[in-house]
A and B are shown apart, each in its own frame.
Chain A
Amino acid sequence: MTALFYGVELSSPLMLGTAQYPSPDILRDAVLAAEPGVVTVSLRRESAGERAGQAFWTLIRDLGVPVLPNTAGCHTVKEAVTTAHMAREVFGTDWVKLEVIGELDTLQPDVFGLVEAARILTEDGFKVFPYTTEDLVVAERLLAAGCEVLMPWGAPIGSGKGLNNVFGLRALRAHFPDVPLVVDAGIGVPSHAAQALELGYDAVLINTAVAKAGDPAVMARAFRLAVEAGSLARKADPMEERDMAAPSTPVVGKAMLA
């Protein structure tokens, strides 16, 4: 069954970031090739003269894909909450990808600030998508704070290392079978995305892996196919792993030639 994100069924389990593309045209081509269920967007200071944000907004609006605003770069609860409020007004959605960054080398979330900000925002009517770790206790706290989706990292943002802690991600999936889970951050190649969906994750959020590819539009298509493959594999119920070989060709009836 396809997961519902705050009651909404996404058209694809691929969530695509819009940052770091070589040009607006390449961003557009990548979104068209990826066919994502949502695109993530952000807020930055606007210059009255350049109005760069207005042009970007026109591009995104014309693509017709639902947006998920983030609070990227926020390091305190206050910053993240204020940014979320500004994003709700500008983008006209109460969805927010909540980031409270705790450490600069890994960009890992400040999970204490994250839980606090999530509680404040859900009380204000936001539908929070928290960027978190695979920690089960933090996950419990986020759900208790009102989150109905969790977005654990695969690896540090922009690292492309894939799913660093498969055991932890599998445990999170098993522990919260009914909570929509998204692997956010660290995915580098389409096989990582397929692996996340095979583990039973409901979606993946990709940005750098597409934007920094030599050909972002082709990589976007590769990710679209990967999430389709991963989703189908999950539905098909993968075989059990085993430690020893088991012959796939039947032994019965084999000619006696020795």
Chain B
Amino acid sequence: MKIMVNDEVHEVSARTLAALIDELGYSGARIATAMNGDFVPVPLREKTDLRDGAKVEIVAPMQGG
């Protein structure tokens, strides 16, 4: 199915957010996730099912003021 990750379309086989993170190569990274505008904490990623067209945000530490 097609998932938008950080505003880019990805064709993925993952069915959960946790599987998506593995499939896209983020395993082990210090990241946080949101789906369709809502925060998804780490313990809920496995229980969060993906739907076609879902919008996922994957963020990490960055410089800030």
Taking a contact as CB atoms closer than 8 A, the residue among B24, B33, B38, B60 that contacts A44 in the complex is B60
Closest beta carbon of chain B to A5's beta carbon, Å: 18
B31, B38, B41, B65: residue with the most chain A Cβ atoms closer than 10 Å: B65
Cα of A32 to Cα of B61 in the assembled complex, Å: 20
Measured between beta carbons, the chain A residues less than 8 angstroms from B33 are 86
Say yes or no: A51 contacts B29, CB within 8 Å.
Answer: yes
Taking a contact as CB atoms closer than 8 A, the residue among B24, B26, B32, B38 that contacts A43 in the complex is B32
Closest beta carbon of chain B to A49's beta carbon, Å: 7
Measured between beta carbons, the chain A residues less than 8 angstroms from B61 are 41-43, 53-54, 56-57, 60, 90-91
- Main DSSP-derived SS at the A contact region: mixed
Say yes or no: B65 contacts A19, CB within 8 Å.
Answer: yes
In the complex, number of A-B residue pairs with CB atoms less than 8 Å apart: 110
Say yes or no: A56 contacts B41, CB within 8 Å.
Answer: no
Write the chain B residue with the least CB distance to A51. B29
Closest beta carbon of chain A to B5's beta carbon, Å: 9
Say yes or no: A44 contacts B65, CB within 8 Å.
Answer: no
Say yes or no: B59 contacts A43, CB within 8 Å.
Answer: yes
Measured between beta carbons, the chain A residues less than 8 angstroms from B24 are 48
Cα of A60 to Cα of B29 in the assembled complex, Å: 15
The verdict on A132 contacting chain B, using a C-beta distance below 8 Å, is no
Contact with B along A1-42 (1 / 0, CB 8 A): 000000000000000011111000001000000000000111
Write the chain B residue with the least CB distance to A206. B65
Say yes or no: B63 contacts A54, CB within 8 Å.
Answer: no
Measured between beta carbons, the chain A residues less than 8 angstroms from B60 are 43-46, 51-54, 56-57, 90
Write the chain A residue with the least CB distance to B7. A45
The verdict on A87 contacting chain B, using a C-beta distance below 8 Å, is yes
Closest beta carbon of chain B to A160's beta carbon, Å: 13
Write the chain A residue with the least CB distance to B27. A48
Say yes or no: A82 contacts B65, CB within 8 Å.
Answer: no
Measured between beta carbons, the chain A residues less than 8 angstroms from B41 are 85, 89
Say yes or no: A17 contacts B39, CB within 8 Å.
Answer: no
Write the chain A residue with the least CB distance to B32. A86
Taking a contact as CB atoms closer than 8 A, the residue among A27, A82, A86, A90 that contacts B63 in the complex is A27
Write the chain B residue with the least CB distance to A91. B61
Say yes or no: A41 contacts B64, CB within 8 Å.
Answer: yes
Measured between beta carbons, the chain A residues less than 8 angstroms from B32 are 43, 85-87, 89-90
Say yes or no: B62 contacts A53, CB within 8 Å.
Answer: yes
Interface residues of B, Cβ cutoff 8 Å to A: 6-7, 24-26, 29-34, 37-39, 41-42, 57-65
A-B contact pairs, 5 of them (CB 8 A): A18-B65, A20-B65, A43-B64, A48-B24, A89-B39
A-B interface, 8 closest residue pairs, ranked by CB to CB distance from nearest: A53-B60, A42-B64, A17-B65, A86-B32, A207-B65, A46-B60, A44-B62, A48-B25
